[in-house]
């Protein structure tokens, strides 16, 4: 009878080692996946911080720089000052 408890004990140890190996492998894979996700999020964070700084500078210029506002009005809205003459040229490649 001494052989059966020993066999049972050995089988239990093997089963525990096998379970820990499978669980450990899954945990290692999950940690690796989480590191990749964290790296991607850190890259996104750097990009978003840069974009936030750009937008903050633009807001500051819109609040405090009349020349910047005039530049935008001229470029985006086609505004001109009184007395200025606007010359419009056809785009290259446009049919005549």
pTM for the model stands at 0.54
**Residue 3: its pLDDT value, please?**
59
**Residue 13: its pLDDT value, please?**
84
**Residue 46: its pLDDT value, please?**
98
Q: What is the pLDDT along the chain (96 residues), one digit of tens a residue?
A: 455 777 878 888 888 888 878 777 888 888 899 999 999 999 999 999 999 999 999 999 999 999 999 999 888 888 888 888 888 888 886 565
In 3D, which of 89, 21, 67 has the Cα closest to residue 75?
67
């Amino acid at each position: 009878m001494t052989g059966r408890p020993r066999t049972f004990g050995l089988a239990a140890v093997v089963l525990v080692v096998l379970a820990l190996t499978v669980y450990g492998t899954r945990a290692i894979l999950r940690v690796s996946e989480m590191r990749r996700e964290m790296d991607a999020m850190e890259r996104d964070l750097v990009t978003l911080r840069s974009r936030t700084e750009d937008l903050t500078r633009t807001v500051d210029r819109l609040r405090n720089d009349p020349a910047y506002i005039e530049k935008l009005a001229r470029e985006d809205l086609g505004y001109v000052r009184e007395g200025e003459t606007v010359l419009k040229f056809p785009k290259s490649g446009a049919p005549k």
